Amino acid sequence: MKNSIRYSLLAVLVTFATTLTAGERVGDFALIDHQGAFQHMAWYDDHSAVVILPQANGSTDPSVVEGLKALQSQYADQGVAFFMLNPGLQEDRDAVAADIASLGLDISVLMDDTQLVTESLGITHLDQAVVYSPSSFEVVYRGPVQDELNESIQSLLDGDRAELITATTSGAAIEFATTAAHANLSYEKDIAPIIAESCAECHREGGIAPFAMDSNLAVQGWSPMIREVILTKRMPPGQVDNKVGHKMKNEMNLSDEEMQMLVHWVNNGSVVDSENDPLTALVWPDTKWEMGEPDMIVKIPPQTVPATGVVDYMELQVDLGLEEDRWIRGSAVAPGDASVLHHIITTVVPPEGAPDFQQILMDALSALPEEESTAIKTQLFAAFASGEQPNITELFNQLPGLDIDSFLGSSDVNQASVAGYAPGNDMSFNPEGVGGLLKAGSQLSFQMHYTTSGKESTDATEVGIYFYDEGVIPEERMGGGVGNEFAIAIPAQAKDHEMQFVTTIPQEAEIYSLMPHMHFRGKRMAFVAKYPDGTEEMILSVPAYSFNWQLAHSLEEPLRVPAGTQIIATGAFDNSSQNPFNPDPNAEINWGEQSWEEMFMGFYSWKNVDQGGSE
């Protein structure tokens, strides 16, 4: 009670201040900061308070900076998260980083390029800070850095329910570029085209999304959720950081303007201005094959998946019945039941049979000096004799002639690859003139991974293969590589356990796609090219990795790199209680095939410039 009275008196004493009743809430949101990190505010619900202050290059008030430094020092290790927020005034992250460094600050600057979060927080001036509770998103203070802000933080630390204090500011006003322009958006002309282009393919009858957005009534009904998933960057799925790196042709991000239009339309009441509804006129192909009817359809034997429990990995082999060699242009997977099919790894088994893994290992050992080879054999035999698994990472490090690619397919540069499956990744098509050979007598081996869904199901997945015309031999072959790290030991409750692996491209090549792979605890992954001259270049950043959407990100223009280029993949795992997908945050996590274990991999496709060499 004493604190409550004190806060009320403070509010009255603030010049031109207005005291509002507690209960003003801001919704959850996520932004990428100036260092490229994904900052999702719901992740901070183990904190007591969040403080956000505006930032603008060369325009941040020195008194605000000094006040922020004092607060950071005062509340270090007390569960208070501090951020600055650039309200769409600058988009150059390097310039923002330089400005922050010049001010002597160590803080994340949230890049609000759309200005939508700034609007949501009610920040209108550059000296206007916001304090809110991260557990309820209830705002307790909005105003300059002064004593009342400090008191509001303390109230949250003490667990008191304080009234919202808004104090008048004297800082420069923030100009909002689109608010007025979006006051009267047209559903027919502005909103429906965005839904049709970016949402409706999944959100339709028979689509993979849980509900349809096929009319203005449906869009109106789902409009609060549309706003929420845009502000948290949960949808569209598989978003990349498109402000850095190379342009991806299968990028699913909305543009800044599209996000602004959708959110402003919802904020203004989701008004439908016309009887004409473009969404009701959409027509979808009546086929499961996006690229048209395949030349060959491979039916994987149907599998019954129980309602609950753990389903072991299955290895299924299907004879293609090919009586003559054929060159493949592409392939696609049509899942029978996407609700239970987690992934498929497809391997082509040539007529001569699958690779002999034991022979591959023996060949790698025989290439070493006898003393080194004997020492490794001794380690392996000791591990097997004790019933333990050998240290796979150490084995690969000790055997330079051993490559994980050897275990994933044939060394024949002409051999075709056939599409596997993961959510959002079900197709593999080569550019015109590029292809692989599927020999007569070949089989396909499918590693099937199912997860239970609460009800028994039967999955009858099919694979479609598209051939070049008979007699056509494509001139070029697509190659690639796999980066991998087996030595995974993620401590319990680790919030950002960082790891790295390096993959070397042996010949001059053109990179076509990159795909990160982790499980439930995967948090982020970025791919940097390090060239032989020591220079580095960001290719792709996936700041908010989602196990539900494992995408092969395809470059809009292939990236040519010299021989010896390294792809450095840096990623992190969230094994904390803040990760809503984490099965057990109190367990140390190691490498394993099941989803509750972890993997740390990158899959790459590249095409050697000199096609006369080895892939």
The structural domains of the chain, ordered by start, are 2-166 (3.40.30.10), 187-281 (no CATH), 296-355+409-467 (2.60.120.230), 479-608 (2.60.120.230)
- Average pLDDT in the 537-546 region? 97
Q: Let me know how long the chain is.
A: 615
Alpha-carbon distances, residue 204 vs 57, 198, 209, 219, 423 (angstroms): 44, 12, 7, 12, 17
Instruction: For 440-489, give the DSSP string.
Output: TT-EEEEEEEE---SS-EEE--EEEEEEPPTT---SB--EEEEEE----E
Backbone angles phi, psi at 342, to 5 degrees: -85, -50
C-alpha dihedral, 128 to 130 to 131 to 134, nearest 10°: -160
Evaluate the CA torsion angle 579, 580, 582, 587 in order and state its sign: positive
DSSP notation for 283-311: ---SSS-TT-S-SEEEEPPPEEE-SSS-P
Beta bridge partners, 141, equal 131, 165
Q: What is the pLDDT of residue 25?
A: 87
- Residue 495 CA, chain-centre distance (Å), reads 16
Give one DSSP letter per residue of 70-104, joined into a string: HHHHHTTTTTEEEEEEE-SS---HHHHHHHHHHTT
More confident call, 389 vs 137 = 137
| pLDDT of 456 over the 70 cut | yes
Residue-wise pLDDT tens digits, 69-106: 999 999 999 999 999 999 999 999 999 999 999 999 99
Q: Print burial letters for 107-128: b (CB count within 10 Å at least 16), e (below 16).
A: bbbbbbbbbbbbbbbebbbbbb
- Per-residue pLDDT, averaged over 205-229, amounts to 93
Asked if residue 408 has pLDDT above 70, the reply is no
User: How far, in Å, CA of 448 to CA of 443, rounded?
Assistant: 16
Compute the radius of gyration of the chain from its Cα atoms.
Answer: 28
C-alpha dist (Å) from residue 298 to 133, 145, 328, 335 = 55, 66, 14, 12
Tens digit of pLDDT for each residue in 484-530? 998 899 999 999 999 999 999 999 999 999 999 999 999 999 999 99
Residue reference for tokens 């609000």: 112
- The enclosing H or E element of 538 equals strand 536-542
Task: Compute the half-sphere exposure of residue 353: CA atoms within 13 Å on the CB side of its CA.
Answer: 3
Find the mean pLDDT for residues 426-445. 94
pLDDT of residue 406: 56
3-class secondary-structure state, position 151: helix
